[in-house]
Amino acid sequence: MSIPVMFVFDFVSILTLPTARFSSGNVQRSRTFLDGDAAFNSLDFDAIYHDAPPSRENGEYIRNMRMSEVSVEGQVPLAPNLKAIVFRTLSDMRTFEYLLELQGLHCPYKRFVERARGTLFVARALYLNDLSFTGDTISLTFNFPVDFSPPDRNFKVYIRQTVGTRTATYDKLVELRATTFSVKNYTANNSAVWLIRLEDQLAFNGRIQAELSELF
């Protein structure tokens, strides 16, 4: 599973923290952090923010410079630096909000879902794109992994619905060929709490607004 959440910090306030440092290119290669106005002004920003396909001649240099980093020693205070939290999908944001509710916590920061797929998150892992509940059927729409996908397309799928003290659980190794998968015989109840895991990793936790079946 890939990371489904991105924090949006104010760049200027982070960069001007007393303990902020930055690198020219991938710090894992240079193993050097820089500081000070002179070093900052010497950075190749045309290469760092290069958004066109690199040529054969400058490809390695451009890819390295795109990985320039800013690092802060110790903890970064959220206020006033954090401006928003971006989620990969609506399911990810609902899970975040439900887990906050369980802990009795309030999140004062703006929250929104990435709308243009692939602009912020690398869509290469197995995760839920969408889910819905109609009648007695829950439907899951997947993003299939690009790397490390099993050749037989068998994935562990765990779906548990809890209504009061009653639970209904689906726990199987499933061959997933299509991007949508449905399971029947659940209780139509908007107060139900759902727990969904894919390959033993949390994919969703929270409530789903039940939709009326179009057949009735």
Nearest to 68 by CA among 28, 97, 120, 105: 28
Q: Name the residue with higher pLDDT: 198 or 3.
A: 198
Q: Label the pairing between strands 166-175 and 20-22.
A: unpaired
Overall residue count recorded for the chain in this entry = 216
Q: End of a domain among 40, 72, 104?
A: 72
What span, in angstroms and rounded, lies between the C-alpha atoms of 187 and 166? Answer: 10
Over residues 34-70, the pLDDT tens digits come to 999 999 999 999 999 998 888 888 999 999 999 999 9
Q: Compare 1 and 161 and report the one with higher pLDDT.
A: 161
CATH number, position 147? 2.60.40.10
Residue 162 lies in a domain: yes
For 184-204, what is each residue's pLDDT tens digit?
999 988 899 999 999 999 999
Average pLDDT, whole number, for the chain? 89
Burial status of residue 95 (CB atoms within 10 A of its CB: 0-12, 13-18, 19 or more): buried
| Averaged pLDDT, 147-152 | 73
* Top-confidence residue, 141 or 145: 141
* 189 inside domain: yes
Question: Residue 43: what pLDDT?
Answer: 95
Domain termination site, one of 52, 72, 92: 72
For residue 35 the two structure tokens come to 């500081």
Q: Residue 77 domain-assigned?
A: no
Q: Where are the alpha helices (DSSP H) in the chain?
A: 11-15, 27-30, 37-41, 45-48, 59-65, 78-81, 90-103
pTM: 0.81
Based on the domain organization, do 135 and 68 belong to the same domain? no
Q: Would residue 12 count as lying in a domain?
A: no
What residues have CB less than 8 Å from 95, skipping those under 6 apart?
A: 202, 204, 205, 206
Q: Tell me: do 130 and 190 sit in the same domain.
A: yes
Q: Read off the pLDDT band of 124 (50, 70, 90).
A: confident
Report the pLDDT averaged over residues 85-103: 94
Reported confidence tier of residue 216, pLDDT bands at 50, 70, 90: very low
Whether the per-residue pLDDT at 85 is higher than 70: the answer is: yes
Torsion of CA 199, 200, 206, 212, to 10 degrees: 40
pLDDT score for 108: 94
**Least confident span in 61-65, 91-95, 142-146, 199-203:** 142-146
**Domain annotation covers residue 88:** no
Residues 134 and 60 in one domain: no
In this prediction, residue 148 carries a pLDDT of: 67
The whole-number pLDDT of residue 215 equals: 43
Full domain range(s) for residue 53: 20-72
What's the domain count of the chain? 2
